[in-house]
Amino acid sequence: MHERIQQIIDNTANWLGLDAYYLKRHSFSKEQNIEGRICYVVTMEWFPNGKAETDDGLNPPGTAVVDVEVESEQIKSILFVGDISYAKREELSNLYQDSEKTIEWLEVLTGLELGKQFQLVHETADTMRFRAAIDNIPIYPEGTIEVSFNQDGQLTTFYIDGVFPKQEEVEWEPFSLTPASYKPIAKQQCRLLEIPMEDLQTWKTVFGIATVFIMNRNQQVLAYETVEDYYPRTTLHKLLTWKGEGEQSISLTPIDITMEITETEALTAEAISELEPISESIVSKASQEIKLLLQQELPDESGKWKITSIKREPYFLFATLHLVDSSNRIIQPRLKVILDADTIKVVLNYIDNRFLLTIFEDFSAAEPPIYFTRYSF
């Protein structure tokens, strides 16, 4: 074991007071945060002394599972299995039902400051939940922090996830969104939809509003997935057509998306801070490969599918396809095609969701909508 990893393990044991525990195992993985940055994490599973795995191969009650980022050595999460803890750390035992002490402990642990970078949004006798905020103004995509205690007042859960920007990273500007500016935009997002009613075995017509973000500066509309998904993405409407079955054979490959890595990789790999955007060249190559795949797998469906988006993730490209002739139903036929991000020319596999839609085959059609002017914008 590398001395740096040993130091992280020792510090974790001391910090949590794990004298009544032994380290059963540890592993390494890579994770992406909401900014798209890949970091490397060591996961430790501490078993209570004298305890072993259950007959089902599960961790015994009281097991402490701790995630620590290798580079910063910051604790990302703590979980005591079964809400049972044998940890002996006086500082942690004094946090229960003391909001002020808990917040001070969080500030030291995370390096964040209440009010300036995060705020309390929910509190009960045994749980406190926080979210990212700048000067108590919530931000999105949001960062979250949660702390919980068991009935004996022992810390049993902690996790931090997301981004907590500093004030100097925020561009301030006067708030200028008024009803006159955002109501027309909201009206444009109104959609006539059909949703399945399982209990009635029918489709029902409803009106819904798509979730979007409106920029304060110029009222630009940002799609929800654009803000929520930090990976590079391009939107397009590329119709795919072909003649007959393709002569080129594509061998589909089972996809392994595990993020587990070795200790050496965790210590030597450089954090990936930004993924390359999707160029026109990538779109062209990916489209050609996707067309060859459909020509092989769905030879009779030429002209029925269009590529609507391509997203880049570490190691993979994910293309989404929808039918050209779509309906108002909220659940639509869709294909997901997975390509190797480096070669692009190799189609790895694809997912067709139409087998899931068979459960709605016997549902009756939706009744036509009735419009009332007084209910409109």
Alpha helix stretches (DSSP H) within the chain: 3-16, 90-93, 99-110, 179-188, 224-228, 263-268, 280-297
Q: Which of 78-87, 310-319, 330-339 has the lowest mean pLDDT?
A: 310-319
Digit-coded pLDDT (tens) for 365-377: 999 887 766 555 5
- pLDDT value of residue 230: 72
Greatest Cα-to-Cα distance within the chain, rounded to the nearest angstrom: 73
Nearest in space to 120 (alpha carbons), one of 96, 148, 146, 88 = 146
* Cα gap 120→63, rounded to integer Å: 28
Q: What confidence category does residue 93 fall into, taking pLDDT thresholds of 50, 70 and 90?
A: confident
Round to whole Å and give the CA distance between 121 and 137: 12
Q: Which H or E run includes 309?
A: strand 305-313
Retrieve residue 144's tokens.
């979250």
Reading the block at residue 60, the tokens are 């015994």
Neighbours of 309 (CB within 10 A): 17
- Written as one letter, the residue type at 353 is N
pLDDT at position 245 is: 76
Q: Which of 201, 173, 290 is nearest to 242 (CA)?
A: 290
Instruction: Give the model confidence (pLDDT) of 325-348 as tens digits.
Output: 988 999 999 999 999 988 987 778
